[in-house]
């Protein structure tokens, strides 16, 4: 397996130098202030936990996986013990409310920590990751009694959470759900139905599991308008009367089986059966769709981070191998005269692969950390920042989820390619990253679903307003730096790409007014263009920071020079992908829809 090393220097560059986290955190209304020293202390300890506790059990998670026996799920060796260390260290409650036992720190800090845990051990990271969605949902929509019962336990980590949405006959189209909720005289409901693909639905790592379940109350409207959300615990809470909540009798919730998956085998993916299980409605009846999106948006950001996890893990493995593997001589002359051949890192095609990995992974980190900081601003920033942050999040979340996972999977496959035939062998761990990562483009809404959300609801649905807000920020940056000679190679193509994206939006919008299939036909290409433009914006800013540091005589000349050179590679070798994507997006729906259904044959 590749030896994982948390990229602390890269993390500090993005947070402190690129996004000015010190100013950001000082401006928030957080319960606790996150100072630079505290940020360094927390991230350093998180890095040690990821490197020394999680990474060593990653292989067993894949080789042994989860085991199901008569409804009970046993996690791989070391998973339960690692989770107990996580709980004892207070990691689950980093951004939880202090009144509920949390530490009251900004959400973005928990996102940064999740990079380390997810790259070190993706399967293990799913368990606390799912709990965050449940916490956010109950915080936002639960009543005071529900908060008192569930939040303290979820925030401390002794209870974990799930999202129970998908059913055997319907995936993304949740309006087709069949799970029923029958009211009881005491205000609770009996929940009956089957949910599939439920991550962390059953396991042995916590004393209770809190399921967030969508269901339809009898007589509710058809479709998504009739969705309600319920808290359905594995064990019903037992309030002893002294304010201490424990676990009581077993609810009628059971795990029918676990899926046998391509990857993330240490994460239990369950079929969950609810047989008149007692549940408690969250919020008002038939308002579950909005509450569900509170969980979904948290999950989409978490999945975007998993794209970075793929990229970082694969890049680290590929870079180490390329420095050690000897093969052939350099085209420009021997570079390793004392050895029988040169290390493969000297060959242009290997450099192409490593530079692509580096440019995409570092760009993803800048993008995702920016979104995490926007989440802080939307909830804890000054009033004038909140609306703009909300608008940017609406536009950028589907791009981040889809683009970072698509390019993360590209980076993971490149890592295998650097290893050559050895990349296909399990002992090196590179193929595990590919297998683990493939799910990220599927769950929490496929790439196609994110693309439809972006072009349909977010861009065309807002009359272009959301895109214009982002474009205004980009153009402001370009205007500020247009006279800087050193920045012209970045600012000019960025400005042009933003202009092209806007013109493409107008073209697709006009066509879609005549034929709605035009938006669907262009949607994935359109989203990928958006992703490359956002990363160009990130790389142009990173180049600016690095050039300013070099001009000031920074003592880390090699680090900042590498940033400028990687930015140059991105703009010259990766950014031109948008040109072909524009062509395919403009090609329209005709060739896609021209073939009669009966003509699809074999």
pLDDT digits (tens, 9 = 90+) for 504-532: 999 999 999 999 999 999 999 999 999 99
Tally of CA atoms within 13 A in the half-sphere of 153 that contains its CB: 26
Give yes or no for residue 539 having a pLDDT over 60: yes
Rounded to 5°, angle at Cα 320 from 318 and 323: 105
pLDDT digits (tens, 9 = 90+) for 153-163: 999 999 999 99
pLDDT digits (tens, 9 = 90+) for 245-284: 889 999 999 999 999 999 999 999 999 999 999 999 999 9
- Percentage of residues in the chain having pLDDT higher than 70: 99
Residue with tokens 């991105």: 570
Query: What SS3 state is found at 196?
Result: strand
444 is catalytic: yes
Asked if 38 contacts 466 with a C-beta cutoff of 8 angstroms, the reply is no
Predicted pLDDT at 169: 83
Asked if 359 contacts 539 with a C-beta cutoff of 8 angstroms, the reply is yes
Q: Where are the alpha helices (DSSP H) in 383-487?
A: 383-419, 430-437, 447-452, 465-481
All structural domains of the chain with their residue ranges: 474-591
Going by pLDDT thresholds of 50, 70 and 90, the confidence category of residue 602 is: confident
Q: Could you give the CA distance from residue 235 to residue 229 in angstroms, rounded to a whole number?
A: 18
Asked if 528 contacts 403 with a C-beta cutoff of 8 angstroms, the reply is yes
Going by pLDDT thresholds of 50, 70 and 90, the confidence category of residue 469 is: very high
**CA nearest to 269, candidates 278, 282, 280, 256:** 256
Q: For all residues of the chain together, what is the average pLDDT?
A: 95
User: Residues 167, 202, 406, 444: which is the catalytic one?
Assistant: 444
Residue with tokens 């999977």: 409
Beta-ladder partners of 270: 198, 258
Going by pLDDT thresholds of 50, 70 and 90, the confidence category of residue 239 is: low
Going by pLDDT thresholds of 50, 70 and 90, the confidence category of residue 174 is: confident
pLDDT digits (tens, 9 = 90+) for 549-595: 999 998 999 999 999 999 999 999 999 999 999 999 999 999 999 99
**Which element (helix H / strand E) includes 139?**
helix 122-141
Predicted pLDDT at 242: 55
Structure tokens given for 333 = 């002359």
**CA nearest to 2, candidates 265, 266, 413, 312:** 312
Residue with tokens 């005071």: 144
- Percentage of residues in the chain having pLDDT higher than 90: 90
Q: How many CB atoms lie within 10 A of CB 499?
A: 13
**CA nearest to 137, candidates 281, 243, 236:** 281
Q: How many CB atoms lie within 10 A of CB 537?
A: 23
């Amino acid at each position: 397996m590749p030896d994982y090393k948390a990229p602390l220097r890269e993390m500090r560059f993005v947070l402190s130098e690129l996004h000015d986290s010190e100013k950001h955190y000082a401006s928030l209304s957080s319960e606790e202030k996150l100072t630079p020293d505290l940020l360094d202390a927390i991230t350093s300890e998180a890095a040690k936990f990821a490197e020394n506790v999680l990474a060593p059990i990653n292989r067993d998670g894949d080789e042994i996986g989860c085991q199901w026996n008569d409804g009970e799920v046993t996690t791989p060796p070391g998973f339960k013990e690692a989770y107990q260390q996580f709980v004892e260290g207070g990691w689950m409650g980093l951004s939880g409310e202090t009144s509920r036992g949390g530490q009251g720190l900004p959400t973005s800090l928990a996102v940064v920590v999740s990079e380390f845990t997810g790259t070190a051990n993706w399967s293990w990271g799913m368990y606390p990751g799912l709990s965050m969605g449940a916490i956010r949902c109950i915080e936002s929509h639960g009543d005071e009694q529900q908060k008192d019962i569930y939040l303290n336990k979820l925030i401390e980590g002794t209870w974990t959470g799930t999202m129970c949405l998908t059913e055997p006959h319907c995936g993304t189209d949740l309006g087709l759900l069949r799970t029923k909720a029958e009211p009881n005289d005491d205000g609770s409901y009996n929940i009956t139905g089957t949910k599939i693909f439920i991550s962390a639905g059953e396991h042995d790592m916590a004393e209770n599991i809190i399921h967030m379940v969508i269901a339809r109350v009898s007589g509710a409207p058809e479709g998504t308008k009739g969705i309600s959300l319920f808290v359905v615990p594995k064990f019903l809470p037992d309030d002893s009367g002294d304010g201490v909540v424990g676990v009581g009798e077993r609810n009628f919730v059971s795990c029918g089986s676990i899926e046998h998956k391509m990857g993330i085998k240490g994460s239990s993916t369950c079929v969950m059966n609810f047989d008149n299980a007692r549940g408690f409605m969250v919020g008002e009846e038939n308002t579950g769709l909005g509450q569900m999106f509170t969980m979904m948006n948290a999950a989409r950001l978490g999945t975007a981070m998993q794209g970075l996890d793929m990229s970082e893990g694969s890049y680290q493995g590929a870079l180490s191998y390329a420095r050690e593997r000897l093969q052939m001589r350099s085209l420009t002359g021997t570079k390793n005269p004392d050895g029988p051949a040169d290390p493969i890192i000297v060959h242009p095609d290997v450099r192409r692969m490593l530079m692509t990995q580096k440019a995409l992974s570092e760009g993803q980190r800048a993008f995702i950390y920016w979104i995490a900081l926007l989440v802080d601003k939307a909830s804890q920033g000054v009033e004038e920042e909140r609306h703009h942050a909300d608008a940017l999040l609406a536009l950028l979340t589907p791009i981040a989820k889809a683009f970072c996972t698509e390019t993360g999977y590209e980076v993971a496959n490149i890592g295998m390619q650097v290893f050559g035939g050895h990349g296909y062998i399990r002992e090196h761990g590179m193929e595990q990253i590919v297998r683990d990562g493939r799910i990220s483009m599927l769950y929490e809404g496929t790439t196609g679903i994110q693309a439809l959300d972006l072009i349909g609801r977010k861009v065309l649905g807002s009359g272009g307003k959301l895109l214009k807000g982002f474009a205004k920020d980009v153009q402001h940056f370009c205007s500020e730096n247009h006279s800087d000679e050193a920045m012209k190679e970045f600012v000019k193509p960025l400005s042009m790409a933003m202009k092209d994206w806007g013109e493409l939006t107008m073209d697709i919008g006009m066509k879609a007014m005549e034929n709605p299939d035009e938006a669907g036909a262009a949607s994935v290409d359109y989203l990928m263009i958006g992703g490359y433009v956002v990363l160009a914006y990130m790389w142009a800013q990173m180049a600016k920071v690095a050039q300013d540091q070099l001009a000031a005589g920074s003592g880390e000349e090699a680090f900042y020079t590498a940033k400028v050179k990687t930015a140059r590679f991105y703009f010259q070798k990766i950014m031109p992908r948008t040109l072909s994507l524009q062509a395919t997006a403009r090609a329209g729906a005709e060739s896609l829809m021209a073939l009669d259904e009966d003509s699809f044959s074999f």
